[in-house]
Chain A
Amino acid sequence: NAGVTQTPKFRILKIGQSMTLQCTQDMNHNYMYWYRQDPGMGLKLIYYSVGAGITDKGEVPNGYNVSRSTTEDFPLRLELAAPSQTSVYFCASSYYQARTEAFFGQGTRLTVV
């Protein structure tokens, strides 16, 4: 099994550009999450989804959008990139929200200049 796959691994964006970070999982998990991790810090929840067609805001949703059209895919969209969005982004999935392990992708390192 591939687990959770994120693309791209690295990206440099100019201020005002837009991009989509891709995330796919092959474990048939209900829950999927997007986090950002700033240098030396923990993970902040951006958005999460409890299943196809259902998404909800996390702690830091401003400047981002998500969709969940299938169980497998959970893309994160940045519409107008800002320097404050420079971070490492992790996608994760789990079967339930509590008591079950969340599996993480390898991360996307995004720099906005």
Chain B
Amino acid sequence: TQLLEQSPQFLSIQEGENLTVYCNSSSVFSSLQWYRQEPGEGPVLLVTVVTGGEVKKLKRLTFQFGDARKDSSLHITAAQPGDTGLYLCAGLGRFGAGTRLTVKP
């Protein structure tokens, strides 16, 4: 059983569409992190959320930490082909299985 469950596992959309991916756990975390990984590379940190209910924006990416600090979401507005990659949530050194996003031109 994964400590952090991510959904969907795969997502393929057209350029310009919006999307949301989710990270859920039955455990409470003091913080959660979102990473993006491109083929052949290690993951790179996008954001750390710390406070329950917190919303952080990074250009077209919006991250939310659940009020109970058990879940988080990543929303991408007007997706671009450059957003293609594996999106991973992580807490206390553990990673979810990731959402593999493909954005088609």
Contacts and interface: CB of A to CB of B under 8 A. Distances in A.
Interface of A: 4, 31, 33, 35, 40-45, 48, 58-59, 90, 92, 97-102, 104-107
Contacts of A102: 33, 43, 45, 90, 93
A99 B97 CA distance: 20
18 contacts: A42-B96, A42-B97, A43-B43, A44-B95, A45-B94, A45-B95, A58-B93, A59-B94, A92-B42, A97-B92, A99-B31, A101-B33, A102-B33, A104-B42, A104-B43, A106-B41, A107-B41, A107-B42
B96 A45 contact: no
Interface residues of B, number: 25
Interface in B43-100: 43-45, 48, 50, 86, 88, 90-98, 100
